[in-house]
Structure 1
């Protein structure tokens, strides 16, 4: 799940990546008013998302991947035991996405924490669609991506 607009556009104070005592990155997203998750389900979106719902964290994951192009920020949105590879292994995948790629992600809740995700990558050489199931998990009041199938 990945798109890019330009890394420098997103290195602002609205999100900071920190590391906890176990060397697990933590992405701090500024609080912004958002529509309820049910209002965002099934809409094609490319916003920065949030950790207030499964759909919100899926949007945040894609934002970190495609817009920020930052594996540390993306990995910080995954559970510690997630199937997502460590940031240093994830960054080459992000770097392989052509500069100028845009994206749009559509989520459909299959259950409280499982979503059908339809990602459209708008690459300079054409459109690519990726459909997958994403399992999310709530930990300490925040939502994280867990498994991509």
Structure 2
């Protein structure tokens, strides 16, 4: 019986090479037929996949990441990243709704330019209601104590993206 199995494996490997396959490992048909569904497609018995780690909830944690426009909290982080890290008024303003209370880019840039180089920030963003967040912002200027404040930020979902709307 072992000799027959060796012939089957060798034959499968030879057929794989004749078919133009560059694969180093031959494909071997299973010895017994797998069960099939109503369409004649084999039903495979595969192991359960490894669990995928869910993204961690950042609520209550101080964050200073790039953010994104996939959520209200994400766009708040993106706005502050553009303001403190990129130091770009136009980029920050682009993350606000057209009717936002956020200053126009050039005026926003004047505020950014007044912030000392090397200033860092982090924020704790907590959802209060749909699109409304409490933001606990910590600003760390070089050689100065941490300046901490809270504000309520309203966000809006427009055309599939989130934008900041009002800071109060």
TM-score by length of 1: 0.74
Q: Which runs of 4+ in 1 moved over 6 A?
A: none
Separation (CA, whole Å) in 1 of partners of 2:158 and 2:132: 15
Counterpart CA distance in 1 for 2:78 and 2:89 is 12
Unaligned 5+ residue runs, structure 2? Answer: 1-53
Name which of 98, 104, 111 aligns with 2:129. Answer: 111
Structure 1 unaligned residues grouped into runs of 5+: 1-33
User: For 2:60, which of 14, 28, 42 is the aligned residue?
Assistant: 42
TM-score, with structure 2 as normaliser: 0.66
Shift of residue 81 of structure 1?
A: 0.3
RMSD of aligned residue pairs (Cα, Å): 1.3
Could you tell me how far 1:65 is from its partner in structure 2? 0.1
2:120 paired residue number: 102
Deviation at 1:43, TM superposition (A): 1.5
- C-alpha displacement of 1:40: 1.9
Offset of residue 35 of structure 1? 3.5
Q: Alpha-carbon deviation of 1:60?
A: 0.2
Q: Partners of 1:96 and 1:113 in 2: how far apart?
A: 30
Matched, 1:77 2:112: no
Indicate the structure (1 or 2) with the bigger Cα radius of gyration. 2
Find the aligned partners of 2:55 and 2:96 in 1 and give their Cα distance: 22
Query: Are positions 1:139 and 2:161 aligned together?
Result: no
Instruction: Report the Cα offset of residue 48 of structure 1.
Output: 0.2
- State the alpha-carbon separation in 2 of the partners of residues 87 and 108 from structure 1: 27
**1:106–1:118: 8 Å Cα contact kept in structure 2?**
yes
Answer 1 or 2: higher relative contact order, Cα 8 Å, separation at least 6.
Answer: 1
> Residues 86-121 of structure 1, C-alpha deviation per residue, up to 9 Å, x if partnerless?
001110100111111111011000001000000000
